[in-house]
Structure 1
């Protein structure tokens, strides 16, 4: 099938957004904004999915669960757009592998725990991104129109996220991450 100029331009924007997203994701999850946290010298491995739910209810952190899901939604959106020909299970395996390697590197670099629950939640976030894309395609009628909406939202989200991260790094917000 022959791609139109608009489709090629939209794909280029989506690719730039995907690369930007992955770089920001790595900076947030692996480099922790360039800040040394006290827990970074500890190494933990959790291979029991959702262990905190059945060990102690007070250890459950709903905001962390939600953030672990939401942080991978863009990966699902961009993957769904750029790799629409791939089978659903191949895309799901990609979400799993990206999350797995992030968790592995957090463990190796002593900047966090290797947690199977995070991998499951991140993978669910990627799948949620695919489902949102399917909904947008149904809502707007074509893949290209849905892609343009995702691109505009992605540009806005990327700019806002970069601004937030820069302001956090410069300690110019009333909240602190250290």
Structure 2
């Protein structure tokens, strides 16, 4: 009975971390941390993968690719843990749909550009996260142990990211008061 209660608490923590992650993801990707951009008010669309938005001074901006992949890796981990009954295709579809939702919101709200490259990279990040979870599950030979390790790392990461984002937001607000 104690093991079942422990698993329930572990799942609740994972669900809480997914909820916080989702809010932070929306704030970063859709709301752009509430930072004004020069293209605000315009609606840009790019349906050609890995085209001009990645170019910066004539060079490919690998940072944007890397960050788009990195920011969706936790989604892959959380989906792998919490939605075990879904097929792999449905899990991958969920990464695609979340990314598509973010891109459509950026377009509709005139906050960013709708970019197919972002959708591809975000989906790939979710897939990498899912593969990482499956690898940890096999390495520990236990989905519960893998989940507990991910929860520990995710809790520390979540605290650091939320604290950093709040610091940046507060710092930005204080700069505007001057």
Partners of 1:34 and 1:70 lie apart in 2 by 21
Aligned CA RMSD, in angstroms, stands at 2.0
CA distance in 2, matches of 1:58, 1:136: 40
Distance (Å, rounded) in 2 between the aligned partners of 1:102 and 1:56: 23
Moved more, 53-62 or 16-25: 53-62
In the alignment, what sits opposite 1:110? Answer: 110
- 1:158 corresponding residue in structure 2: 158
- Return structure 1 stretches of 4+ with deviation > 3 angstroms: 52-57
Contact 2:77-2:130 at 8 Å conserved across structures: yes
Superposition deviation, residue 84 in structure 1: 0.9
Aligned position for 1:91 = 91
Change (3 A) 1:57 1:19: same
Alignment match, 1:149: 149
Check whether the contact 1:52–1:59 (CA below 8 A) recurs between aligned residues: no
Shift of 1:53: 9.6
CA deviation profile, 1:70-97 (whole Å, cap 9, x unmatched): 0000000000000011100000000000
- Paired position in structure 2 for 1:76: 76
TM-score (normalised: structure 2): 0.89
Runs (5+) with no aligned partner, structure 1? 173-178
Deviation at residue 49 of structure 1 after TM alignment: 1.2
Q: Distance in 2 between matches of 1:52 and 1:35?
A: 22
Tell me the distance in 2 between the aligned counterparts of 1:109 and 1:54.
22
Counterpart contact for 1:107–1:114, Cα < 8 Å = yes
SS at match of 1:38: coil
SS of 1:41's equivalent in the other structure is: coil
Deviation sequence 1:4-43 (CA, Å, 0-9, x none): 1111111100000000000011111112222222221221
Alignment of 1:16-165 (within 5 A): 16-52=16-52, 58-165=58-165
Q: TM-score, normalised by structure 1?
A: 0.89
